[in-house]
Every structure is written in structure tokens, then in C-alpha cells.
Amino acid sequence: MPDAPPATHTPVTHSTALHSLCQPLSHDAFLDHARQLLTRLYPERYEEVLRRMETLLDFHRPRLAPRIPAGEVLWSERDQWLITYGDSLQQPDEAPLATLNDFLASHLGECLSGAHVLPFFPWSSDDGFSVVHYREVNPALGDWQDIRRLSEQRDLMADLVINHCSRESLWFADYLAGVQPGRDYFIEMDPETDISAVVRPRPSALLTPVHTRRGLRHLWATFSDDQIDLNFGNPDVLLEFIGILLYYLEQGARMIRLDAVAFLWKRLGTSCIHLEETHAVVRLLRAIVDHLAPGSLLITETNVPHTENMSYFGLDRLVEAEQEGGKSVAQADEAHLIYQFTLPPLTLHTLTSGDASALTAWANSLPTLPAGCSYFNFTASHDGIGVRALEGLLPDHERDTLVRLVHDFGGYVSMRANPGHPDTPYELNISYFDALKGTRRGRDPWQIERFIASQTLMLSLQGIPGLYIHSLTATPNHQEGVERDGHLRAINRRKWHRDELEALLASPNTATHEVFHALKRRMELRREEPCFHPDAQQHVFDMGPDFFVFERVNHEGRRLLFALNVTDQPRVLPVPEHWQNMSLTDHLCHDKAFDPDMARRPYQAAWLMEQTVRAPAIEVV
């Protein structure tokens, strides 16, 4: 373990915003806040837990440093992330983490500000999310030195798999033997207990039988019988994970992803999802990060309906924060970022139906973000395309149409338990590239254009974009992985041999080449355009079902209009009223003059700006 924090990479900011400033918490303010939260969590023991937590923080304090100076912005238009496994790229006789680092440096350079390396710890199942050792790097990937090298080149996101651990972990071995510390780390439950109210993300049984030295016991297992839920009603578990979180920051991580955090706290008689205690834990972790490592970021992973997902900003508990010049602004106190889980299925619905109405209505409903908060926008990841986020936004028959379309294009659907009712779709398992093979009418020649449109949309929305490695490489369905591994998510988790990928990237006649270079050039453009600062305001226009249209306006009044033809037919763009009678150029078309009477090609996107407002021209194909 290092005795001092490694060197860190701080993205250069291109423009400043008025409210995404690094706001370190004073020691007294932190202690007052922590005491209130611990009183809510452990009313009989909060003073003891607070003392133990202070001792733990004092141990880590010398090993941590601010990620960015106080008063600097947390993010900028240059923030663009990659989502990848540590071994998504492989080559003989080299640690996969080293291969990944070299590939990113060689092919993407400064296009990417950060990389989310999915769980790189020893694991027993679920491709890393059943963690055996939280403070070790899987030797099949590399070591902590490889992780620190990655973090020196760009920001690093690490997973804190906080809801559960592997049954092969030392904690679980302690539980089986009835010894500390793991003896009280898990949740025993009488199998006759009424748990019908508990919300389930899987169709498997909630309680899993386990043979211990004390006899047969039944343990809470939300996701699988190899992923045993941890008991956060025991403050020892909370303190353990605070130490793990700080250790990851010491190793160079800037962003910590709280995996499956919505299910963290259990209270019988409730749904056991989004409980007040769960939100209190997130608030405590946010306060610790802001206090000990200001500029580090906390992101929650909650694949749930949209309104529930938004709750992890803590919007119902806005506090007042002092800005420069003595002004006071509303600031939320939970996650810095939340995943925009609505975007993947709603974008898929829009581009396969040729109707932007639902996407426009949803985007119009998004609230003004409070200080220190933003969205992490994505369309694809290591998981499937979650459909719970569509609840309340699309009728069930539209969701079922997506299910049929995914089956038609070679994918699968995973189900979840729905107490008292039949199982319902939870996620669509398919490569996002192949999910856009066609429309509801079937396959057509527009797959590449349609896919590039989906990624351009994602790159343009308010927030920070995250591109899955298999989106950058236009990876098709990996049926061999499903057959080999026996689980549906393997369809979108291919492991590339680097030589094979390099050959595809070098050949101009491949989808991989066309998509990779088109997206890279869009990223090069985006990182130089101040209108794409995550804090730049977003105003959505309803211009009919054929187009998705919105403008981005930064704090200096610079404006950009995004417009996307979501159909497979040429369409004339109806320009919003206050953009009419302007001389516009299309930044995605070599800054050519925009002709409002000329039809836009199928799935053509535009970044329109006034002719007198030009960003650096970079050719985009």
C-alpha cells in the first residue's frame, strides 16, 4: 500500500460555470452533519460510531489530497468518459490494464477525460460484481500500479460494490464459522417471514439457504445466491466501507460508483428500496468525500423509474451554499452525479419508432439541476438496457414492442419478480449497435447512421457523457459469450484481442472504423465547445414527432441548437421561432451555412450556431 497519494490527473477546464464549484466542508460543519446522519442511522450508538469514524478519517487524511483546488469547477465540457472492463482489450504477455491504458493513449488521447474501469477486484461471479477481496486487484488484470498509471493519465471511476459481497469472501467465511468480524455482517431471516412487499430486481428467491456451524440459516440475497447482502444495520459494516472508499481514492480514483445502492438498507414491512436510511448513508459518504477529498465525485447506480432515480440528488433536502461574492445558491447533498437510466431505452424507442414525442416530453420534464449536481449520460454499458426507467413515460405496450424488436435483432430479455403479479421485463440484453439494426418495420440499410445519431444525441445532452467501449467499436451481439458463459449479459461483454480490433479500425470498409472515427471526431468537437459544459442550460422545443430539438446556453449567453431527424426519411427541420431569421452554420457539417429549406437526411444531427459564433472547425464524417 502506498504511504502517500499518487499523482492525480486534473482535467483542464475550458470555461467556468457559476455553480459547479468545488465546495470543501469545514471540519465543524462536517461533524455536525455527520452526527445528525449517524443519529438517524444508529440512534443508540451514534456517539460511539462518530468517534470511531473520526479515528478512521484521521488515519486516511494524510494520504488524501484535494482533487481540484477549492473554488475551481468540478467539471467542464472536456469531461467525457469511457466505460470498460479491465480486460475488454487483451494481447499476449501483457496485463490487460496496461493494454487498455496504452490503447486509450494511442487512439483517444485527450478525447477522454476519464475511464470507468468496472470491478477490477478478485471475484466469483457476475463478471466482477461478486467481490471476494475489496482491497486487491484481480491478478489476471494487473495490479495497483497499473490502476495508478491509468489514474495518472485520466480520471478514474472505481466501483464500490456496497450492497453485497461474494460468498467466497473472508467475511462470509467468518460468518459461516461464527467469528468476527464477518459474523454479524449479513442478514439472517426466518424463511416464514412475510417479505412480499420487498421490491425485487430478479426472479430468484430473496432468501438463500446457507449451512453454517450453527445449523441451516437463510440469508438475504437481492441479486443471486452468490451475492449475499451486507447488514448496514451493523455500524461495523458502514465503517468498513468508509475505509474501502477512502482507500480507492488513495489509489487514484476520482469518482466512486455506488453499485446497487438503492437496496442498501432493509426494514421489514417496507419495499426495502430507497429507504430514508439508504439516503442517509449516501449523504454521509458525500459529506466524507467533500470533506476529505474535495473535487472527488460520488455517483449512484440506481436502475429504477425516473422519478425514483432523481431522488439520489437529494432534491427534497436542498441546503444553502455560499458562492464567490457572498451569493447563496441551492445545493443538494447526496450524489454529485446520477446515471441517466431513462436515456438508453427512450433513445432506442425514439429511433426505432421514428417518433420523438416521448423523448421530447421527458426531456422537457427534467428539473433545473442544483449546484454541484449533474447527469451521467449513457446509452449502453456492461449491463442490459434497463426498462424500469420507462415506467410512467411509455405505456406497457410500447415497452413490449421494444422487447419484440430486441428479439428480432438477436437479443434477449431479463425478467424481474413482481409480487402478486407475473414477472415483468427488467432489461433488454443486446448490443446497442445491433439494437439499432432497423426499425419496427424490420432491418434496413441505416444501422450505422442510426447508431451514430444515438451517440451524438447522448453527447449533446446536459450532463457528462459516458461511452461504452463496445459502442465506440460498434461491436455486434456476442452470441458466443452467451453460449460460453451461460448468462444473457455476456451478449454485450465481448473481450477484444487488440490485434483484431486494430485491424478493424485500420480498415475503412468496416462498421468499427466508421463508427469509431465518427464518434472520436464528435468528441474532439464537443470538448472545445463551451455550450456543452455540463452546467450549460438546456431548453427543449417541441417541433413535432420527426425531430428532437433543444438548445444549450452557457453562462455567457453562447448558444447552440441541437436538432436530430429521428426518422428514416428526409425531413425539413422546423426551426424554433427565436432561431429563425438568423444566419446559422452547422458545426457537424464543417461549419457550412445551414439552409432551412433543405431536407435533413435520415438520422442526421445538427449542431447549429450563429454564423458569427464559431468554435474551432474539426472535420466530422
Positions marked catalytic? 259
Report CA-CA distances (Å) from 591 to 564, 601, 611, 613, 615. 17, 17, 9, 10, 9
| Tally of helices (H runs) and strands (E runs) in the chain | 17, 29
Check whether 487 is labelled as a binding-site residue: no
Place of cell 460543519: 29
Question: Which amino acid is it at 453?
Answer: A
CB 452 within 8 A of CB 515: yes
Tell me whether residue 258 is annotated as binding: yes
* Ligand-binding site membership of 382 (annotated): yes
Is residue 552 a contact partner of residue 500, using CB atoms and an 8 Å limit? no
Contact, 87 vs 270, CB < 8 A? no
- 443 annotated as belonging to a binding site for a ligand: no
Distance CA(252)–CA(85), nearest Å, equals 17
**What whole-number distance in Å separates Cα of residue 229 and Cα of residue 186?**
6
* Three-state secondary-structure class, residue 28: helix
Q: Could you say which DSSP state residue 594 is in?
A: P
Residue 391, amino acid: E
Please, how many CA atoms are within 13 Å of residue 90, restricted to the half-sphere of its CB?
10
Does 558 carry a binding-site annotation?
no
539 is annotated as contributing to ligand binding: no
Whether 259 has a binding-site annotation, put simply, is yes
CB of 8 closer than 8 Å to CB of 67: yes
Q: 137-143, long-range: CB within 8 Å, 24+ apart, which pairs?
A: 137/97, 138/86, 140/87, 140/96, 141/86, 141/87, 141/95, 141/96, 141/97, 142/86, 142/95, 142/96, 142/97, 142/98, 143/95
CA R_g for the chain: 24
Alpha-helical regions (H) of 393-537: 396-408, 432-435, 447-460, 469-472, 479-485, 498-506, 511-526
Asked if 138 and 120 count as a contact pair (C-beta separation under 8 A), the reply is: yes
CA-to-CA separations, 446 to 159, 349, 410, 449, in angstroms, rounded:
36, 16, 17, 5
Asked whether the bond before 445 is cis by omega within 30 degrees of 0, the reply is: no
Intra-chain end-to-end CA distance of the chain, in Å? 47
355 annotated ligand binder: no
Q: Please state the residue numbers annotated as binding site.
A: 126, 164, 257-259, 382-383, 489
Q: Please state the residue numbers annotated as binding site for substrate.
A: 126, 164, 257-259, 382-383, 489
